[in-house]
Amino acid sequence: MFTIRNSVMAAATFALAAALPAAASSVLPANPTAFERVDLRMSVDSCVFNPSTVRVRAAGNVLRVTQQPNACLVPGPVQEVDVRLGSLAAGDYSVEVYASPDAGGEPVERLAFEVRDPVEPAVFPPPPRPLTDYTGIWWNPLESGWGLSLHQSAMHGVFGAFFVYGASGEPEWFTLQGGQWLDSVTWRGTVYRTTGPFFAGPDYDPRLVLVQAAGTATLDFRIRPGESSTARFTYTISGATTTKPIARMAF
């Protein structure tokens, strides 16, 4: 019984060792800019690695990634996983990876990386830029059925897509592109209407996709008394101008 128990424990210990990164981890993107999303990519044992227990904690500029490994008797196939470290201010950071839930003992891996401020155009006065990130799905809670999806890049670019219904009740697809910030809380760009063939058809031909400028849109994130969680979305399409209050959807 003693020999069997030791054999099992040895196998479990060997499998737990596979919880350590199977290859050197990396930070993505390799050269992040301020407040860009940063991930840690690790190669792990698919049996030992327990994603539900992964936690990221910050202690100053040190980010500690911990987990509670599964006790597997046989190592599983190696797989790659991405763990979000956060959107970080400019500075020097280090990552410590632990094969325990409490960051006890020595980390099994250490990485260092730098987050840099984005390169701004060398013009005076500098162009307006936002002070926060407005990425998210926005909607009007009183008008369920349509919405606006916004993505803001680390370099302050904005891409939007809003799904609405036309006068005949058919769904329509519009995108917001090619705009600029008028000040830190106001963005204005062009609205494009996109049409094309049935996306799931066997003979889908991307050459039939048609993108046409359809109007303009303004996003106003100014904070007004009593409207701290609300923005204003104004768009002009086919000569008709509409302003909608919108709020970021929480889910």
pLDDT of residue 18: 45
* DSSP code per residue over 165-232: E-TTS-EEEEEEEEEEEEETTEEEEEEEEEE-S-TTSTT--GGG-EEEEEEEEEEE----TT-TTEEE
CB of 183 closer than 8 Å to CB of 199: no
pLDDT of residue 22: 58
Sketch the domain layout of the chain as residue ranges: 2-115, 136-248
pLDDT of residue 1: 42
pTM: 0.80
CB of 181 closer than 8 Å to CB of 163: no
189-214: per-residue pLDDT in tens?
999 999 888 888 888 899 999 999 99
pLDDT of residue 91: 97
Q: What span, in angstroms and rounded, lies between the C-alpha atoms of 64 and 186?
A: 37
> Could you tell me the CA-to-CA distances from 160 to 128, 154, 169 in Å, in that order?
19, 15, 22
pLDDT band at 20 (very low <50, low <70, confident <90, very high): low
113-145: per-residue pLDDT in tens?
999 998 877 778 888 999 999 999 999 999 988
Q: Return the bridge partners of 57, or none.
A: 64
pLDDT of residue 169: 86
Average pLDDT value for residue range 58-72: 95
DSSP class of 157: -
On the question of pLDDT at 9 being above 80, the answer is no
Label the pairing between strands 91-97 and 62-66: parallel
Nearest C-alpha neighbor of 219 from the set 201, 234, 236? 234
